[in-house]
Amino acid sequence: MDPHLESRLSRWLHEEQDDEEVIQSESDDGEEVVQPMEQEHLVQEAVNVNHASSSEDDMPLSELAQNNTRDDVYVSRNGTRWSKTCTAATRMFVIACLLACLTAVHALRVGVGIADVTGPPAEIGFMGYANFEQVGHGIHLRQFARAFVLADNNTRIVFVSVDAAMMGNGVRKEVLKRLQKRFGDLYTENNVIVSGTHTHSTPGGFLMDFLFDLPILGFVKETYLALVTGILKSVLTAHNNLTPARMEYGEAELLDANINRSPTSYLRNPPEERAKYKYDVDKTLAQVRFLSKENKILGVINWFAVHPTSMNNTNRLISSDNVGYASILMEKALNGNSTLPGKGNVVCAFASTNLGDVSPNTRGPRCEFSGRPCDQEQMLCTAHKERCFASGPGVDMFDSTRIIATKLYNTAMEVLNQPGEDLTGPLGIVHQFVEMPKQVVSPYDPVSETFNSSAKVSGCLPAMGYSFAAGTTDGPGAFDFKQGTTTSNPLWNAVRDFIAEPTKEDIECHAPKPILLATGRAKFPYEWQPKVVSCAVARVGGLLLAAVPGEFTTMSGRRLRNVVARVAATASATTTASRVVLAGLSNIYSDYIATPEEYQAQRYEAASTIFGPHTLDIYLNKYVELTNAVMKSQRVDPGPSPPDFSEQLISLVPPVLWDAAPWGKEFGDCVKQPHKYYSYGDVVTASFVSGHPRNSVRAGRWLAAVERLVSAQDDAWTTVATDADWETKYIWQRNSKILGTSDAVIEWKIPVGTPPGTYRIHHYGNYKYILGGIYPYHGFSDSFEVT
């Protein structure tokens, strides 16, 4: 409801003056008062709306109130008869009807859901660092999809935050296909946003763009199906949980949790623009919370600009990283600390935003051996083969992950416990596929904050620059590539041309980027990078969510938020949306989006801005168009659908051939037992004869659990932790490829506050029989005491 109208009605309800015409429009202190004639209009309108079908429509209110102690009436200018004493009771009845009518227009329902999307935890490459050696060997934190379905009388919106490196069109397309089998056109590509958190420690091979799947050795069906089924389940759960709700917005500043990893590039932006901001990265945590009619929390979405790269490229355990652990901490706090990850009713996401140049490694870049600061421009060290990389605030990557996650969680809870800004209002969403190389737009001037309509710029075919291969301080690259490279090398150009040679137009279009990979020209075995991207703007009452298909740098994101906010402020005469949030890595992944000024520096983010120096200009123009459309409830052209390469996919990932148990052992046997007694802070370790964890992804089912004895008489045990908990680690070790033997090592660090008692480790798995077939097994360790 319009807050101004609500305030006027409230004041009228409690007004004690006589019902006579008042000439003045303001009280003595300047406060606006509602005139009796206006009261008459508001109430009569409410009566007309809410009692149109009543047989008493034409009955004067004086007759309806004939039992009142006074029966004197007056006749308004339009002839309606009013009782001067139809005071509080009648007024409250009429206002209740009016409020019900107005509220029904934006009757919001919200559903939340969470589901496991953990991919194959062993012998599959991780997506993010593009490091061929980073191959999984277990689980530290499981992956989850967190879905939020919003519906009013006219519109339905789905937002899903997924613990994955990014999102691919093939995954989203298959999820939509399965949803449409159940619900028809209720959920389509026009109203479903799937956003990856950007963790770099989860299995890859699902994007169906050859360059992105190449470090994983191609398409990995197990990863793909785990994501599809998990995302689908989370949306179905949210759909089935739809309930009347309201929305609130809150925010807070969070310091010491992120830094700019390309500060010299940021300084390329105009000083007039930089002067508007206190920091060279965004420090605001934005939050949308959904509450039931009983004021209970249903779900929370948080956005904070930080890369989930606290876990570095030496990690071999699946991890949702800092943002994933922050989600688990918040869900445990709101569902109860004994609630297992992924099992609570309240769902809390920490989703990605403009994190392109933002690192959680707050100690900054240092040289590997000397510990000295690196060269700021090219991130080089003086010693031979000494790498430059940044580290987080902890003693190791696990500790750094915990520290950053705890900062995120604490700030989110601080916001949650403060009064929120009401977001009540209509829902709306527009979506369009955009073929980026074909776009011709007006460039944006960040100083005047206007588009130069007298000039035109265009997009380029996708290409990667030399500095892309240099990596970042979060994960250094290979060979001797350097940040900030603007010249090419004949040897690497020859390698490039063997794959796909750029044309003269390509080289000119991407300048000053020296092209290392002309991905837009590469056709074998299928498309290397997307040319068509997904762009969407969702209106969630008083908030606009700009879903973008890549990693916007800090200043790119600021420019996008600013243009969207300005358009929203003027596009509609009847409704407004004052808050803007950018949802990163949504629907399709198209690498980075640096500003045109940052592009000139050709550091990693600029070299990975695949559509050329005016990529951001194209997006700014497009999101102006989409924002106008969503604010005016207009449809947009769907655009060209991305090509489907599902029939051309290749994979070089070797299959699991068979599993075998050592002589005299069975699958699930505990071959290394825990000690008999432990205390808080101790690490319990048990090893089991294991099958290959790729035999069954076991989405929603555990490979490891910690159980506590609740009844010795009944031999009853309850699960107190799983391989999704922070305190546990599931580590898979291959003993012999020829014999097919392997072990599963399960660790549990006993947290403070664990109830004393009897515990055991429980291992689950599946083995592949040499003559065919996959069979489940499980086994227990000996019991032990926590004192």
Nearest of 279, 307, 286, 283 to residue 400 by alpha carbon: 307
- Rounded CA-CA distance 363/207 in Å is 33
* Whether residue 101 sits in one domain with residue 53: yes
Question: Tens of pLDDT along 557-593?
Answer: 999 999 999 999 988 756 678 899 999 999 999 999 9
* Domain of 33, in residue numbers: 3-105
Q: Which amino acid is at 555?
A: M
The active-site residue, picked from 265, 359, 586, 783, is: 359
Question: How many whole angstroms separate alpha carbon 746 and alpha carbon 755?
Answer: 20
Is 142 inside any structural domain? yes
Q: Are 123 and 203 in contact (CB under 8 A)?
A: no
The closest of 518, 536, 537, 519 to 528, measured between CA atoms, is 519
Instruction: Please report whether residue 84 resides in a domain.
Output: yes
Mean pLDDT of 150-172: 97
Backbone angles phi and psi of 107, in degrees to 5: -65, 100
Residue 284: other Cβ atoms inside 10 A: 15
- What whole-number distance in Å separates Cα of residue 192 and Cα of residue 185? 11
Mean pLDDT on 181-189 = 97
Coil, strand or helix: which one is 589?
Answer: coil
Q: pLDDT tens-digit profile of 697-712?
A: 877 789 999 999 999 9
- Residue 121 CA to residue 223 CA, distance in Å, equals 9
pLDDT at 494 over 50: yes
Pair 431, 189: CB distance under 8 Å: yes
Quick check: 45 pLDDT over 90? no
327: CB partners within 8 A, 6+ apart: 144, 146, 320, 348, 349, 350
565 and 702, same domain (yes or no)? no
Binding residue numbers: 198, 307, 551, 592
pLDDT-derived band at 90, boundaries 50, 70, 90 = low
- Length of the chain, in residues: 787
Q: How many CB atoms lie within 10 A of CB 93?
A: 15
Query: How many domains would you assign to the chain?
Result: 3
On whether both 44 and 60 belong to a single domain, the answer is: yes
Helices (H), 612-660: 615-631
Gyration radius from the chain CA atoms: 30
| Residue found under tokens 């000996």 | 782
* Amino acid letter for position 418: Q
Q: Which tokens sit at 618? A: 């194209």
Q: Specify whether 99 is located in the same domain as 247.
A: no
**Residues in a beta bridge with 677:** 785
Cis peptide before 755 (omega within 30 of 0): no
Question: Among residues of the chain, what percentage have pLDDT more than 90?
Answer: 79
**Both tokens of residue 400?**
């750094």
Cα–Cα distance, 86 to 473 (Å, whole number): 73
- Residue 611, in any domain of the structure: no
Domain membership flag for residue 367: no
Residues 212 and 277 in one domain: yes
- Final residue in a domain of this structure, among 66, 81, 105: 105
Report how far residue 465's alpha carbon sits from residue 654's, in angstroms, rounded to the nearest whole number.
31
Is the pLDDT at 179 greater than 90? The verdict is yes
112 strand-pairing partners: 148
pLDDT given at position 30: 34
Domain boundary, last residue among 45, 78, 105: 105
Summarised one tens digit per residue, pLDDT across range 267-278 is: 999 999 999 999
Burial bucket for residue 13 (CB in 10 Å: 0-12, 13-18, 19+):
middle
Query: Could you give the C-alpha distances from 4 to 38, 157, 469, 496, 544, in angstroms and in order?
Result: 14, 27, 56, 63, 21
| SS3 category, 469 | helix
Q: Are residues 127 and 169 in the same domain?
A: yes
Using the 8-state DSSP alphabet, how is residue 551 labeled? E
Tokens 């004869």 belong to 689
Task: For residue 383, tell me if it sits in a domain.
Answer: no
The answer to whether 147 touches 231, Cβ cutoff 8 Å, is yes
Least confident of 65-69, 237-241, 458-462: 65-69
Taking the CA atoms of residue 305, residue 433, residue 599 and residue 448 in that order, the dihedral angle to the nearest 10 degrees is -80
Residues 266 and 305 in one domain: yes
Angle between helices 221-240 and 169-183 (to 10 degrees): 40
37: three-class secondary structure by DSSP? helix
Burial of residue 679, with CB atoms counted within 10 A of its CB: 0-12 exposed, 13-18 middle, 19 or more buried: exposed
Check residue 8 and give its pLDDT.
42
CB count, 10 Å around CB of 255?
Answer: 10
Binding residues for Zn(2+): 198, 307, 551, 592
The tokens describing 425, both together, are: 């209002």
Is the predicted pLDDT of residue 48 greater than 60, yes or no? no
Which phi and psi (to 5°) does residue 255 adopt?
A: -105, 160
Question: Quick one: 79 and 139 in the same domain?
Answer: no
- What pTM value is reported for the model? 0.86
**Same structural domain for residues 699 and 777?**
yes
Residues 6+ apart with CB under 8 A from 98: 9, 42, 43, 45, 46, 49, 50
> Which residue in the block uniquely carries the two structure tokens 């990850």?
341
Mean pLDDT of all residues in the chain?
A: 88
The CATH number linked to 771 is 2.60.40.2300
313 and 410 fall within a common domain = yes
The answer to whether residues 271 and 215 belong to one domain is yes
646 in any annotated domain: no
What is residue 698's predicted lDDT score, i.e. its pLDDT? 75
Active site residue 359: yes
pLDDT given for residue 385 in this prediction: 75
| pLDDT at 377 (0 to 100) | 75
- In this predicted structure, what is the pLDDT of residue 697? 80
Give domain status of residue 756, yes or no: yes
Q: Distance between CA atoms of 404 and 406, rounded to whole angstroms?
A: 5
Can you tell me which residue has the tokens 């990932």? 653
Confidence class for position 478, pLDDT limits 50, 70, 90: confident
Whether 190 is in a domain gets the answer yes
675 within 8 A of 685, measured Cβ to Cβ: no
Question: Is the bond into 512 cis (omega within 30 degrees of 0)?
Answer: yes
The domain boundary, picked from 44, 70, 105, lies at: 105
Mean pLDDT score, 76-85: 45
Q: Are residues 573 and 709 in the same domain?
A: no
Residue type present at position 220:
V
Instruction: Give the DSSP letter string of 271-296.
Output: HHHHTT-SSSS--EEEEEEEEETTS-
Q: Region 57-86: what's the mean pLDDT?
A: 42
31-45, 65-79, 495-509: least confident range: 31-45
Q: What is the pLDDT of residues 382-394, one digit of tens each?
A: 777 788 889 999 9
Check whether 14 has a pLDDT greater than 60.
no
Round to whole Å and give the CA distance between 358 and 259: 6
Give Cβ neighbours of residue 742 (< 8 Å, ≥ 6 apart).
Answer: 659, 690, 691, 692, 732, 733, 734, 735
- Mean pLDDT over 405-428 rounds to 97
With bands split at pLDDT 50, 70 and 90, how would you rate the model's confidence at 93?
A: low
Separation between Cα atoms, residue 656 and residue 767, nearest integer Å = 10
- Do 500 and 589 meet the contact criterion of CB atoms below 8 Å apart? no
Exposure pattern of 751-760 as b/e (b: 16+ CB <10 Å)? Answer: eeebeeeebb
Model confidence at 11, in pLDDT bands (50, 70, 90)?
very low
Tell me how many degrees the CA angle 690-696-674 measures, rounded to the nearest 5: 30
DSSP per-residue string spanning 654-716: PPP----PPTT--TT-EEE---SEE-TT-EEEEEEEE--GGG---TTS-SEEEEEEEETTTTE
Q: Using CA atoms, how far apart are residues 485 and 474, in angstroms rounded to an integer?
A: 18
C-beta separation of 303 from 353 below 8 A: yes
